[in-house]
Amino acid sequence: MKKLLLISIIILTVIGCKKTKFSPEGPTDVRVKNLSTFVLTEVILNTSGGIDTLGNISAGGFSEYYRFDKAFNIAGITAKINGFLYSTGTVNYNGLTYIGQAKITYEVYISDDTNRKLNISNCSLDAPLD
């Protein structure tokens, strides 16, 4: 009886210690840096590996890292600035190479204030994924 109990505990422990599933595509931890002098509110990020709301990003500030199934060197980003919706526009991910298992930062700025256009100036590789 004790052997059966010990074996059951070992099996449950092994099953309970599953590692996070990783693939060559990701996951990728992504954050956004606001290069503008305005607060970005209601920031939404689409990496093709998921869509998430990042909240608000202060002028010159960073969002927290958010995990996506995969990410590329470009992304779809929308945000409100002074109540107006700004966007990078739609992104065609076909033919792009995914980042893989890493932490990255998209650096975003206002490229055209009249047309309310955002642009990603840089996608920097911050660190390998933990």
Which domains are seen in the chain, by residue range? 22-128 (2.60.40.2890)
Q: Are 54 and 63 in contact (CB under 8 A)?
A: yes
Please tell me the predicted confidence (pLDDT) of residue 25: 79
Q: Are 121 and 35 in contact (CB under 8 A)?
A: yes
CA–CA gap between residue 91 and residue 69 (Å, rounded):
17
Rounded percentage of the chain residues whose pLDDT exceeds 70? 82
Q: Is 99 helix (H, G, I), strand (E, B) or coil?
A: coil
Please tell me the predicted confidence (pLDDT) of residue 49: 84
The per-residue pLDDT for range 8-49, each reduced to its tens digit, is: 666 656 555 555 556 777 899 999 999 999 999 999 999 988
Q: Where are the alpha helices (DSSP H) in the chain?
A: 2-16
Strands 84-87 vs 76-81: parallel, antiparallel or unpaired: antiparallel
Q: Is 42 helix (H, G, I), strand (E, B) or coil?
A: strand
Give the mean pLDDT of the chain.
Answer: 88
Is the pLDDT at 75 greater than 90? The verdict is yes
pTM above 0.75, yes or no: yes
CA–CA gap between residue 41 and residue 53 (Å, rounded):
10
